[in-house]
Amino acid sequence: MKKIIWCLLMAPFFCDAQTFSLKALTENTKTSLRGLSVVTDKVVWVSGSNGSVGKTLDGGATWQWIKPKGYEKLDFRDIEAFNEKEAVVVNAGSPAYILKTVDGGESWTESYKNVDTAIFLDGLGFWDKNKAIIFGDPISNKMQLLKTIDAGKSWLNISDNLKFPLAKGEAAFAASGTTVKTLPGGKVWISSGGTVSNIYYSGDYGLNWQVFKCQIWQGENSTGPFGMDFYDAKNGVVVGGNYVKDKENSNNVLLTADGGKTWTKPESPVLGYRSGVTYLDKNTLIATGTSGTDISTDGGKNWKHISDISFNSVQKSKKGNLVVFAGNKGFIYRLFY
């Protein structure tokens, strides 16, 4: 009887029959990886510092590393791929570039360049193969917004569509390229942080916007949301914290059930700062960061720490079950579950 009571008290973690483990795919590349696009269980693209782009066509058994010619010094913080041939990559910092390849990385076309010293692009999200949005830190208190309707061949500045000026010290983070989330039909969420944290939402491809308060850890330039995901139009999760205090977890994860309008704390949180989060299914979520990885099997209400390995981003296959982590020192791992 005591064992039964103990098991009930410790549920869902210690009585959950499902197990989770991580396995290295590669660890030896001299680049800090943040961009991640898991297309299928076989095709994965990554991007990072030193102008590096990597891809695998066999689920991570072998990797091809590419440095777009003329862009070898860039830090590619986000990447979106559609198959083994086509991908769009964006760098952080100034000058800002957006590059596209249609031949598997053998050649790249520069589709956007901005030499403004204040430009800093944070994340990229595609609604479908043709329509996408990119957002960046504010210039003169105005969030930078770019949109494509031709699969990334050209980009239109739509910053004027967002009528809300950002507060002093309010910006965003390009820690994993996941502070922007798109869903079909024109839905997009963008999270800001720093001195103030907000969620900016558009349901019509960035034409009109709403703003919602996000009560995650904020108030300093190193605090706020660093990763976000939505399972559907209502249910979502945001993770973050303070990247310079990555083992503290006073308010690092929040959940929404109304499309980001309101946010609540889980019953038990992630263990520390987290910069990437993704839904494996409606009930199972995984969050990762420089101080480790946590799993929730009850829709984000409770989290269990499963690894201390440092990563920047995590993503599940768009057309399968492969879950991939990317991090500093070229670390690429997969999740077994």
pLDDT exceeds cutoff 80 at 16: no
The pair of structure tokens assigned to 253 is 């994860």
| Residue 151 contacts residue 129 (beta carbons within 8 Å) | yes
User: Which three-class secondary structure state does DSSP give residue 160?
Assistant: helix
Segment 123-178, tens digit of pLDDT: 999 999 999 999 999 999 999 999 999 999 999 999 999 999 999 999 999 999 99
User: Which three-class secondary structure state does DSSP give residue 197?
Assistant: coil
Residue 315: beta bridge partners? Answer: 324
pLDDT at 18: 80
Span 328-336, average pLDDT: 96
Listed residue (46, 62, 186) closest to 127, CA to CA: 186
Listed residue (158, 238, 263, 167) closest to 202, CA to CA: 158
Q: Give residue 113's Cα distance to chain centre.
A: 23
Distance CA 214, CA 197 (A): 5
pLDDT exceeds cutoff 70 at 5: no
| Prediction pTM value | 0.94
What Rg, from alpha-carbon coordinates, does the chain have? Answer: 19
Measured over the CA atoms of residue 174, residue 302, residue 337 and residue 294, the dihedral's sign is: positive
Cα first-last separation, the chain:
30
Distance CA 256, CA 265 (A): 9
pLDDT at 6: 42
pLDDT confidence tier of residue 195, bands split at 50, 70 and 90: very high
Segment 79-111, tens digit of pLDDT: 999 999 999 999 999 999 999 999 999 999 999
pLDDT confidence tier of residue 9, bands split at 50, 70 and 90: very low
| Alpha-carbon dihedral angle through residues 283, 288, 291, 296, given to the nearest 10 degrees | 0
Average pLDDT along the chain: 94
| Residue 325 contacts residue 293 (beta carbons within 8 Å) | yes
pLDDT exceeds cutoff 50 at 71: yes
Segment 221-236, tens digit of pLDDT: 999 999 999 999 999 9
Segment 271-324, tens digit of pLDDT: 999 999 999 999 999 999 999 999 999 999 999 999 999 999 999 999 999 999
Q: Give residue 76's Cα distance to chain centre.
A: 13
Q: Quick one: what percent of the chain has pLDDT higher than 90?
A: 93
